[in-house]
Structure 1
Amino acid sequence: MNEVSLTRLYLLRAMYLLVVVGLALSLWPDVIASKKAFSAWEFFRGVETSMMAAFWLLCLLGIRYPLQLLPILMWELIWKTIWLIAVPLPLWLNGALDDKLLPNVFAIGAVVLVYAVIPWSYVYRHYIQKYGDQWRKVN
């Protein structure tokens, strides 16, 4: 019995592919064409770039193994949701959201697509309802 429909698996694969293509277009040209080495970048720029490259590689694997790599999409969903709630929402509520931040809000707001493709019943069964791995040796 399949826990997740083939259609849902293809939607997950499409999401991983969207991330892979998007990051290939936005991240890798900067890394490859950069005249500066990673060590010459500002510290947080290097950290961010390295993390995004790792995320890219994991999403590449997610195309083949969409359910096994589901936690990586959940990580994306969580950090983007936190950012949207913590950064632009208070600015918008106070009427202080400026035009410079809007492109980031829209790009990160695309996280709604991740909410739409995640098989939430699978997540519930495998990450909430299921017992975790043991912590100690049982006699």
Structure 2
Amino acid sequence: MALCHLTATVKGFLIRRLLRTEKVKHLRQTVQDTQEFIRSFSSDAPQRNASLSEQDLSLRERVRAQLRAALFDIHDIFFTMTLEERLSLLQQDRELRTERKLREMEKAKSPKDKVILSAATQKSLDRKKR
């Protein structure tokens, strides 16, 4: 009984961590955006009082294909991927966040640390170094 509880706790933790990854967030946002677009596209069609053009039909099919692809990707992450692949996804997300933080720190640091020196001052400092 305790082992089942522990396993469920670990699985729940893994699922919550996966839901916070950039990849899953991006896929969820894609699903929401495409569903909203399909809804608005469908509700606008009767207002135009005309049949959909070939371009509109093509656009609708491409958006539906994008929605299906995002849903399949989400399904793959949570149901098809092995544990090692999921842990690798978490590791990649951790590395991505770390790199982003480092870049932000560099951006915040660089304007303050860099003092603009005139060409004459630069030459003088170069001579002193030799």
TM over 0.5: no
Q: TM bucket by the smaller chain?
A: 0.3 to 0.5
- Which of these two proteins has the greater Rg computed from alpha carbons? 2
Structure 1 length-normalised TM? 0.35
Structure 2 length-normalised TM? 0.37
